[in-house]
Structure 1
Amino acid sequence: MSIHHIVFDIGRVLIHWDHHAAYLDALPDEEARLRFFEDVDFQGWNLQQDAGRSWAEGEKDLAARFPHYEELIRLFRKNWHLTVPHAIEESVAIMRDLIDRGYDVTLLTNWSADTYPIATERYGFLAEPRGVTVSGQIEMVKPDPAIYDHHQRTFELDPARTLFIDDSERNVEAARAHGWQAVQFETPDRLRADLRNHGIRV
């Protein structure tokens, strides 16, 4: 069956995201940044905000466990705007082209409820697809199968006619396990080739 529904991830697909950017002034040495991230399990901690925990609660919890890092822990939210410096314009152009061609485009993102409104103010194109599932708003995160099911039911997607685009291999594999077709995003040029391989002209 031909693809009709196309589901985009946002971070590192439509918008550049780099958590290092929040710490370039405070921790200019990359080795020091990586040691901090590893010590506090930054990725796991950040995912909890994506899963619905408030930033205030997340900061309080981590600072209690790592008081010597409290200033750095709180710096991330203060500097969060630096982590999303620009859109990936070629990807946005592809998304818009798909919408113009009549494909049903939606967004499915791991993103905190606290910061997603900032992104929508800054990047108006996020309002152009039919809708979005924000993990922090529904307290589910990829690659949990429940979030794919939620998105599918919310937007009445036919899984056999759905193509998911995400930069994370784990998230792509989870979508495939849910019955969707899926491709891992690497570059806009590669995405164009992957879309053509799925019978989609861009």
Structure 2
Amino acid sequence: MTGTVLFDLFGVLAHHQSTEGKYRLARTAGVSGPAFWEAYWALRPSYDRGEVTGPGYWSQVAGALGARFDRRRIAELIEADIATCSAVNETMVALVEELVASGRRIALLSNIPEELAVHYETHHRWLQHFQVRAFSCRIGHAKPEPDAYRWCQNALREDPARILFVDDRQNNIQAAEATGMRGHLFTTPTRLRESLAQWDAARSPS
């Protein structure tokens, strides 16, 4: 068994925001409709890369909406934002445990702000299994930027061809493959198992 499996977090090991969670977040902001989400996502990359803090990000969102969030509202928004992204895929967590037990080397690459990264490190001990945890807020690069993948390659000291990147977004997979990695577009744990078996078989000596 050779090579490293580099996992995405949200959409693979953890669930994306739920409808209920999104409703809570917009309700906390006091702004509903497309305008809120346009501001939320448009300003997110700098937050994910650690260029602004949580309070700074939410102040920017307020400015884009023509609103004002006081410190209490910002604290509530940070808490609600974390809550919307805190549900993990238990089946995939079990698969991670299985891979580690079998001797598989694993790593993590996630677009994630500092407050959410701290939440995961505090509440999910299984993160300790990852030999490299590349959180965008700490490495200064976010997917699908090529430097995000190159940072992982350097940290792992691994040939890109020996890294299988697992993500649920096609553009992130294509960006990883452009740096020399192999890619697997995640849909189900079963399909991932099949892909890992095929990868191992292709790398085994005949």
Q: Which runs of structure 2 are paired with 1:70-85 in the superposition (5 Å)? A: 70=69, 76-85=77-86
Do the aligned residues in 2 keep the contact of 1:3 with 1:163 (CA within 8 Å)?
A: no
* Residue 130 of structure 1: how far off its partner (Å): 1.2
Q: TM-score normalized by structure 2?
A: 0.83
Q: Which residue of 2 aligns with 1:18?
A: 17
Question: Aligned in 2, Cα 1:26/1:65: closer, same or farther, shift over 3 Å?
Answer: closer
Q: Which runs of 5+ in 1 are unaligned?
A: none
Do the aligned residues in 2 keep the contact of 1:3 with 1:162 (CA within 8 Å)?
A: no
Question: Aligned in 2, Cα 1:89/1:187: closer, same or farther, shift over 3 Å?
Answer: same
* Residue 34 of structure 1: how far off its partner (Å): 5.0
Q: Which runs of structure 2 are paired with 1:1-202 in the superposition (5 Å)? A: 3-18=2-17, 20-25=19-24, 35-40=34-39, 42-52=40-50, 53-68=52-67, 70=69, 76-199=77-200
Once residues 21 and 46 of structure 1 are traced to their aligned partners in structure 2, the CA distance between those partners, rounded to angstroms, is: 20
Once residues 192 and 63 of structure 1 are traced to their aligned partners in structure 2, the CA distance between those partners, rounded to angstroms, is: 44
Do the aligned residues in 2 keep the contact of 1:23 with 1:76 (CA within 8 Å)?
A: no
Once residues 25 and 118 of structure 2 are traced to their aligned partners in structure 1, the CA distance between those partners, rounded to angstroms, is: 26
Q: Residues 50-96 of structure 1, C-alpha deviation per residue, up to 9 Å, x if partnerless?
A: 11121111112221231247588875423023213422111112222
Do the aligned residues in 2 keep the contact of 1:63 with 1:73 (CA within 8 Å)?
A: no
Identity %: 24
Question: Aligned in 2, Cα 1:39/1:103: closer, same or farther, shift over 3 Å?
Answer: closer
| Structure 1 runs of 4+ with >3 Å offset | 19-23, 25-28, 36-39, 68-76
Q: Which runs of 5+ in 2 are unaligned?
A: 202-206
Do the aligned residues in 2 keep the contact of 1:163 with 1:182 (CA within 8 Å)?
A: yes
Of stretches 95-104 and 167-176 in structure 1, the one that deviates more from structure 2 is 95-104
What is the Cα-based RMSD across aligned positions, in Å? 2.5
Q: TM-score normalized by structure 1?
A: 0.84
Secondary structure in 1 matching 2:114: coil
Question: Aligned in 2, Cα 1:120/1:68: closer, same or farther, shift over 3 Å?
Answer: same
* Residue 37 of structure 1: how far off its partner (Å): 4.0
Size of the alignment, in residue pairs? 195
Once residues 4 and 121 of structure 2 are traced to their aligned partners in structure 1, the CA distance between those partners, rounded to angstroms, is: 22
* Residue 22 of structure 1: how far off its partner (Å): 3.5
